[in-house]
Amino acid sequence: MEVWPLARVLSRILSLKKSACGGALVTTSPSRFLSSGTTVLQGNVSRSYFSTGPPVTESTDLVYSSHGDPSQVVQLETRKLPELKAKRTYAILPDPPAVGGNEGVGQVLEVGSQVQTVKVGDWVIPRDAGLGTWRTAAVFSEDDLVTVPSDISILSAATLGVNPCTAFRMLSDFESLMPGDTVIQNAANSGVGQAVIQIAAAKGVHTINVVRDRPDLQQLTDRLRAMGATYVIKEEMLRKPEIKDIFKAVHKKKTKRKATANNNLNNTVYLIQVYPKPKLALNGVGGKSATELLRHLQTGGTMVTYGGMAKQPVTVPVSALIFKDVKVRGFWVTQWKRDNKQNEEALHFMLKELCTLIRAGKLSTPSCTEVGMKDFHKALDNAMKPYISSKQILVM
Amino acid sequence: MEVWPLARVLSRILSLKKSACGGALVTTSPSRFLSSGTTVLQGNVSRSYFSTGPPVTESTDLVYSSHGDPSQVVQLETRKLPELKAKRTYAILPDPPAVGGNEGVGQVLEVGSQVQTVKVGDWVIPRDAGLGTWRTAAVFSEDDLVTVPSDISILSAATLGVNPCTAFRMLSDFESLMPGDTVIQNAANSGVGQAVIQIAAAKGVHTINVVRDRPDLQQLTDRLRAMGATYVIKEEMLRKPEIKDIFKAVHKKKTKRKATANNNLNNTVYLIQVYPKPKLALNGVGGKSATELLRHLQTGGTMVTYGGMAKQPVTVPVSALIFKDVKVRGFWVTQWKRDNKQNEEALHFMLKELCTLIRAGKLSTPSCTEVGMKDFHKALDNAMKPYISSKQILVM
C-alpha cells in the first residue's frame, strides 16, 4: 500500500532560514510516502484526483548539502526510497545532505506490519520540525506522523501544523482569556498573526493588530478586519497618545456605554474606548516593537515572543517587571510538540479544534502561491521578499 | 494601653529614594503606637528595657514636605497623636507632608475597643509599604500591623518585613527548588541577597553570588561564604569562559563523582564542576548584569527582577525566550502582601518560617549601623553611599 503526498509546503522567511535548512531529519521506517504528478487544487479535494500508478521506488527531493542561503544551497535530486523495515529506527539529526521543509501534507500509501497509528489512505502531517517535506515520497516512522482529517482543503491541511498551532497554543497556555478580553500583537499579517486574529475572534476576544506601514496598508487592513481583527494599526500609532483611548479601564467602559445609550450618533467615538487593556501581547518582531506592546499590557499580563523578525532583543523596563508584574515568555511550537510527545490527547484536541474552525469557515487557509516543484528557486526567492503576504506552496 | 516602638529602620538606597519618600501613609485608627527614649540593643531584649512612663500624646516624626532628595526634604517634627477612634478609617495615600520609612518594629501600648488582631505588648511591624515608621509613636489601624514573635532580636524584627520576605518568596513562588539545585543572583551583598544566600543554604540549594568588584572583595567573599554562599564571583567573571565549568550538566556531575572516588587530591578540581545550571536567577541590578545571569540559566528557568540598581532595562535575547524557554518575571513584596491581604495564613506561615531560621542562627540580622533619631541626616547620608554594606537603623 502507498502514500500520496498531496502538497509540500515551502515555509516562509523564518523557517526557511532557521529551521528548514538548519536541522532536517531523514528517517527510515515502517510507513511509506509516495509522490504522484498531480496538481494541488484549491478547496476540498477528493481522493479521485490522485492516480494509483505503479509501485514507487524513487523520490524527487529538494536537498541541501550545506547550511546557508537556501537559494544557493538547495538542489533537486532524485533518490531511491529505502525498504520498509519491520525494525524501528529512531529519528536522527543527520549532517547535510538533507531534505528541506518543515510543513506539508501527505497520504499514506503503504505501512509496515508493526504500524498501528496510521493506515493506508490517511492524510498525515509531520509531528516535528525538520522531517524534510520537500520531496515527492518518503519512508517515515509512524511516530514522526500525525493523522489529520481529509475533509478540509489540502492547503489547510498542509499549513495546519505550525502557524495555526502556534496561534492556538499562545492563546490558550499563557493567560486565561475570556470573551471581551483584549490581545495585542505585532506581525499581525504573518501566518501566525492571521491565525491569532481568527482564533481570537472565534472566542470573542478582541485583537489590536500592529502592522508595518506599507503601500497597500488599506487593503491589508480591510483583509485583516474581514478576518475578525478589532483594530489594525501602524507601528508608529503605538507611540502616539491617542492609542491610549482604545484601552480604557473596564469601569470607564460601563460609564461610556450608559452615556451613549441615548446618543447613537456618537457611538463610534465612544466605541473606540470600550476595550480593556490587553492581557496578552504576542511578539513576532522584537526590538522597539516588543517594548511598545509591553507598554500597553495590563498589570499582570503576559508577553509571549515567538519570533524575532527585527533581529533585536526584547527590552523590558525594570519597573514593568516589578510594579506592573508583566510576565515575559517565549513559545516554540516544536518544543511544545516534543514536550507533549506522551500527551497525544493534547495534540489531537488542538487539531480537532482547529479543523472545526476551518470547516466552519472561521479559520481560512493563508493566502498561498502554488509553485511547481521544479520551479523551487522561484518559490525560495518569493519567500525571501519583504511584504509578501502569500505563503509559497510547492505542488508535486 | 500603649505601644512601644523599639526601633525604626531607615531603609537603604532604593527604598529611601523610591518608596520611603514617595508614598507614605498616615492612618489613624484603633491601635496606638508610642515612643520611649530607650536605646535599641543588639541580640534578644526583654520588655524590661522599656519604661512605661506617662501617657503619650505626642510623637517625634521624620517628615518630608515634598518628594526629592531625602537629605534635603526630610525634617524632624514633633506632632500631636490623634485620639483612638472606635470607627475605622481606611488607609489613604496623603500628599506630603508625610512621615518616611517602610520598615521598623514597634510594641503595642494601647488598643481601641474594636481591635481583635493585636494586643497590648505585641511586637508589630508594618503590613504594607509607606506606613511611615520614622517616628517615635503613632496611631494605626490594626489592619496595617502584623504581629511578630518577641523572642527574636529587635534588629531582626525591625528588618524582617521586606528583605527576608522578598528573598523567601522569590525562592518559593517561581521555581520548585530541590536540595542540590542552583540559584544565581547579582547584588548578592544587598539585604535581599544576603537573605537569599541564607534561606537557600538552609534548603540545601546552592547559590552562585555575583558582586561588584571592590576594595574589600576578599572580606566580603569570606563573609558571604560564612553565610552559606556556594560561590562568590565578580561580575566580570560571568563573562569569562571558565565560569561555564561551574555549571556542568547533572549527568557529568555523576561521572565526575565516580572518577574522584579514588582520587581525593583532585577533589577541588572536580568539585567546581558539580553544579547543575541555575533554575532560578535573581536580579536586583538590571542592564548587562541581568543579561549575564540569563545566559547561565537552564532551559525553562526563571529570572526574577526585584530591583534595578543599574538603572538599565532588562534585555532578553529572542532566542533565549523561544528556544531556551526562559521566563522573565518581576517581584515586589508590597504587591504580594496586598494580593494576599485575605490570605493571612500565607503571611504568617512565611514569618514563622523566617523566625525559625533566625532562632536557629541560620538567618542573621543584616549588618546594621545604629543612629540616634536626631542624627537622621548622618543615617540618610550613609544610606546613599556606594559599597556600604550596613543598614542604617534609627533608634529612638
Chosen domain end from B315, B334, B353: B334
Q: Does residue A152 share a domain with residue A170?
A: no
Q: Does residue A118 share a domain with residue A32?
A: yes
- B307, B285 contact by CB (below 8 A): yes
Query: Which of residues 243 through 262 in chain A touch B, CB cutoff 8 A?
Result: none
Q: Does residue B370 share a domain with residue B282?
A: no
Best residue in A322, A332, A339 for a mutation probing chain B (most B CBs within 10 Å): A322
pLDDT tens per residue across span B10-28: 433 322 222 222 222 222 2
CB contact under 8 Å between B330 and A324, yes or no, is: yes
pLDDT value of position A211 = 94
- Classify residue B50: in a domain, yes or no: yes
Look up the ipTM and state it: 0.78
Nearest Cα of chain B lies from the Cα of A319 at a distance, in angstroms, of: 8
Listed ranges A230-239, B195-204, B380-389; the one with the highest mean pLDDT? B195-204
- B318 → closest Cβ in A313, A323, A335: A313
Q: Does residue A170 share a domain with residue A147?
A: no
CB contact under 8 Å between B308 and A325, yes or no, is: no
Q: Where are the alpha helices (DSSP H) in A7-153?
A: 13-14, 70-73
Q: Does residue B100 share a domain with residue B74?
A: yes
CB-CB neighbors (< 8 A) of A335 in chain B: 323, 325
Q: Does residue A214 share a domain with residue A231?
A: yes
Which triple of cell numbers denotes residue A278? Answer: 490587553
Among the listed residues B1, B6, B57, the one whose alpha carbon sits nearest the alpha carbon of residue B395: B6
- B79, B57 contact by CB (below 8 A): no
CB-CB neighbors (< 8 A) of B286 in chain A: 318
What's the domain count of chain B?
2
**Which chain B residue is nearest to residue A313, measuring alpha carbons?**
B317
CB contact under 8 Å between B329 and A328, yes or no, is: yes
- Is the pLDDT at B331 greater than 60? The verdict is yes
CB contact under 8 Å between A315 and B313, yes or no, is: yes
Q: Does residue A215 share a domain with residue A139?
A: no
Among the listed residues B180, B179, B172, B120, the one whose alpha carbon sits nearest the alpha carbon of residue B145: B120
pLDDT value of position B279 = 97
CB contact under 8 Å between B332 and A326, yes or no, is: no
Mean pLDDT of chain A: 77
Q: Does residue A208 share a domain with residue A122?
A: no
CATH code of the domain covering residue B272: 3.40.50.720
CATH code of the domain covering residue B385: 3.90.180.10
Q: Does residue A213 share a domain with residue A155?
A: no
- Classify residue B112: in a domain, yes or no: yes
CB-CB neighbors (< 8 A) of A327 in chain B: 327-329
pLDDT value of position A241 = 79
The DSSP string of B135-195 is BS--EE-GGGEEEE-SSS-HHHHHTSTTHHHHHHHHHHHSS---TT-EEEESSTTSHHHHH
Query: What does residue A88 show for φ and ψ, rounded to 5 degrees?
Result: -75, 135
- Classify residue B360: in a domain, yes or no: no
Q: Does residue B312 share a domain with residue B217?
A: yes
Q: Does residue B119 share a domain with residue B65?
A: yes
- Is the pLDDT at A27 greater than 70? The verdict is no
Angle value at C-alpha A108, between A103 and A113, nearest 5 degrees: 125
Nearest Cα of chain A lies from the Cα of B318 at a distance, in angstroms, of: 5
Q: Does B308 touch chain A (CB under 8 A)?
A: yes
pLDDT value of position B316 = 97
- Classify residue A359: in a domain, yes or no: no
CB-CB neighbors (< 8 A) of B329 in chain A: 321, 325, 327-328
Query: What does residue A329 show for φ and ψ, rounded to 5 degrees?
Result: -130, 175
Q: Does residue A280 share a domain with residue A137?
A: no
Listed ranges A41-50, A376-385, B166-175, B236-245; the one with the highest mean pLDDT? B166-175
Instruction: Grade residue A1 by pLDDT with cuts at 50, 70 and 90.
Output: very low
* Strands B280-283 and B302-305, bridge-based pairing: parallel
CB contact under 8 Å between B305 and A325, yes or no, is: no
Asked if the bond preceding B366 is cis, omega within 30° of 0, the reply is: no
pLDDT tens per residue across span B258-271: 444 443 433 333 34
- Is the pLDDT at A8 greater than 50? The verdict is no
pLDDT value of position A152 = 95
CB-CB neighbors (< 8 A) of A320 in chain B: 330
CB-CB neighbors (< 8 A) of A317 in chain B: 313-314
Mean pLDDT of chain B: 77
- Classify residue A341: in a domain, yes or no: no
Percent of chain A beyond pLDDT 70?
74
Let me know if B90 is a catalytic residue: yes
Q: Does B327 touch chain A (CB under 8 A)?
A: yes
| Least confident interval from A165-169, B132-136, B202-206 | B132-136
Range of the structural domain that residue B71 is part of: 5-159+366-395
pLDDT tens per residue across span A171-225: 999 999 999 999 999 999 999 999 999 999 999 999 999 999 888 899 999 999 9
Please compute the mean of the pLDDT values over residues B160-165 and round it to a whole number.
95
Instruction: Grade residue A54 by pLDDT with cuts at 50, 70 and 90.
Output: low
What is the reported pTM? 0.79
Q: Does A295 touch chain B (CB under 8 A)?
A: no
**Can you tell me the distance from the alpha carbon of B219 to that of B205, in angstroms, rounded to the nearest whole number?**
23
Instruction: Grade residue B102 by pLDDT with cuts at 50, 70 and 90.
Output: confident
pLDDT value of position B322 = 96
pLDDT tens per residue across span A362-382: 999 888 888 888 888 888 888
Residues B49, B90, B275, B387: which is the catalytic one? B90
- Classify residue A191: in a domain, yes or no: yes
- Classify residue B84: in a domain, yes or no: yes
- B318 → closest Cβ in A308, A326, A327: A308
pLDDT tens per residue across span A112-130: 888 888 888 899 999 988 7
Best residue in A318, A319, A329 for a mutation probing chain B (most B CBs within 10 Å): A318
pLDDT, greater one: B110 or A336: A336
Q: Does A329 touch chain B (CB under 8 A)?
A: yes
Q: Does A196 touch chain B (CB under 8 A)?
A: no
CB-CB neighbors (< 8 A) of B326 in chain A: 330
| Least confident interval from A337-341, B63-67, B156-160, B223-227 | B63-67
CB contact under 8 Å between A332 and B315, yes or no, is: no
Chosen domain end from B285, B316, B334: B334
Please compute the mean of the pLDDT values over residues A162-173 and round it to a whole number.
97
Q: What DSSP element (H or E) covers A74?
A: strand A74-80
- Classify residue A356: in a domain, yes or no: no
Percent of chain B beyond pLDDT 70?
75
CB-CB neighbors (< 8 A) of A319 in chain B: 308
Angle value at C-alpha A76, between A73 and A80, nearest 5 degrees: 125
CB contact under 8 Å between B322 and A316, yes or no, is: no
- Is the pLDDT at B124 greater than 90? The verdict is yes
pLDDT value of position A180 = 94
pLDDT value of position A76 = 78
Q: Does A268 touch chain B (CB under 8 A)?
A: no
pLDDT value of position B300 = 96
pLDDT value of position A55 = 67
pLDDT value of position B112 = 84
pLDDT value of position B95 = 58
